[in-house]
Copies of this chain bind each other. A is one copy, B any other.
């Protein structure tokens, strides 16, 4: 059997049945194999950064890996930034990267490069198929590595001659895959004791603790102990809405974070690492842990935290049900001619979203303005930019929509970020996805203007201002979206945006709304 077919069949047998592709000549036998195995769905992306962001979004919602298929080192390189985000999200992803035939590689042809070297920084597992006989077993190993126990990125390099070999051993059927580890009973008992002894405990939640069940258990613990629930600033996925327990989202800036954690004498870490600042600043501390607070590790991203938190709640004699806030509803629009801002975008979303939406947020400053309005609104999942590599929002939406075809997907994008991977719009159009992409057009890298002002060097000069500005010329996002086959509208007032959002959510295919803020 041809090794390329063995690889594809082995992937689908492990439940990896979706592949985001941008193949080239070295991958032609894999393309032919995909043609013969319709159990694997292939989704073409115009740029590899779209494919990796989509694989991340798929993994966050489906809880299992998609595959990618890339053309040698440069193909992988174009996908690295969103693989960096996937790594930080603990998203399982299986990269298949074609390479030159084994005998060809030492000749150093133009497309040759150190693929394993490029893959290393974003992958928890990198291997090369060095003989067609191991195609099946290394494919299983890649999927296994992606699963965990802490899920992550696995990269399998397949030389062209290992793909085209006709005498490979048969595919391997479904194997058990590792899952997150259970938390030890002694850890649960120790946490209960620490919480009972603390005066002002904070449960710092992240990763797998931020699903509906984990938050529900955390809410019970909070009810029993008075602990405050705070979560990491950029979680991979957090369940939100009136039906869910809310945690305070740790402020991005040091001053706000200090306030969020004020007076804490215990920080119980559940799926999140001890909080630190995103960047270092001259003379400022990097840790947000309040002085005198004890750090208590309950579990990491590799642990199965929802049942552990439930057991902890039971150990603390917590009530069976956590208190929930009443469902928030949006007020009627005051002045429809008022200038649009991020908060009004949040209110429009609150007004029109139904339970079950998925929000993919890659809009640093504006997303923060939307976030709080949906706190107790319709139930939804909010997905963050986990690794700080902008250009994730629209690709993430591609993957999320494939993982949950019935759920509406919203992407929130800064205009600077959206310009990174706008090719995602084409895949959205091609696949007919029900995605509403909101681009916040402030015509600058706004967060960087904030950072530049913080240097204390005085007002920036013309050169620096121009380096952080997206004016001259302004991007016309309506035309860019239409160019990729996506319907688009622009709104600069509260009323216009509200009407456009209502219409976009009712549309069949992808939509883009430019929010002039």
Residues of A bordering B, CB below 8 Å: 21, 23-26, 28-29, 31-32, 34-36, 38, 42, 44, 46-47, 49, 72-75, 77-78, 80-81, 84-85, 88, 100-101, 103-104, 107-111, 113-115, 117-118, 120-122, 160-161, 164, 234, 273, 276-280, 282, 286-287, 386-389, 391, 416, 419-420, 422-423, 426, 429-430, 447-448, 451-452, 454-455, 457, 460-464, 466-470, 472-480, 482-485
Contacts and interface: CB of A to CB of B under 8 A. Distances in A.
Given A161-B280, A430-B472, 17 more contacts: A25-B451, A31-B452, A31-B467, A31-B468, A35-B461, A35-B463, A35-B464, A42-B466, A46-B420, A47-B391, A75-B81, A77-B77, A77-B84, A78-B81, A100-B280, A107-B276, A118-B121
A473 B431 CA distance: 10
A483 B477 contact: yes
Contacts of A468: 23, 31
A273 B110 CA distance: 11
Contact of A111 (B26, B121, B389, B454): B389
Contacts of A273: 108
The list of the 5 closest CB pairs from A to B, nearest first, reads A473-B485, A74-B389, A480-B483, A77-B80, A101-B280
Contacts of A46: 416, 419-420, 470
A100 B281 CA distance: 10
A277 B107 CA distance: 10
A277 B416 CA distance: 40
A111 B392 CA distance: 14
Nearest to A460: B35
B107 A387 contact: no
A34 B463 contact: yes
A101 to B, nearest CB: 4
B387 A111 contact: yes
B109 A277 contact: yes
Contacts of A476: 482-485
Counting chain B CB atoms within 10 Å of each CB, which of A109, A273, A452 scores highest? A109
A114 B484 CA distance: 34
Contact of A110 (B25, B88, B160, B280): B88
A118 B23 contact: no
Contact of A280 (B104, B282, B420, B475): B104
Interface hub of A28, A80, A273, A461 (most chain B Cβ within 10 A): A28
Contacts of A161: 280, 282
A103 B285 CA distance: 10
Given A460-B35, A473-B485, A78 B21 contact: no
Contacts of A464: 31-32, 34-35
Pick the most buried of A108, A472, A477: most chain B CB atoms within 10 A of its CB. Answer: A472
A473 B430 contact: yes
A73 B32 contact: no
Contacts of A276: 104, 107, 109
A342 B482 CA distance: 27
Contact of A32 (B21, B107, B452): B452
A475 B422 CA distance: 13
A145 to B, nearest CB: 18
A110 B386 contact: yes
18 contacts: A25-B278, A25-B451, A28-B451, A31-B448, A34-B464, A38-B463, A42-B466, A72-B388, A73-B121, A77-B84, A78-B81, A104-B276, A110-B234, A111-B279, A115-B121, A419-B426, A420-B423, A483-B483
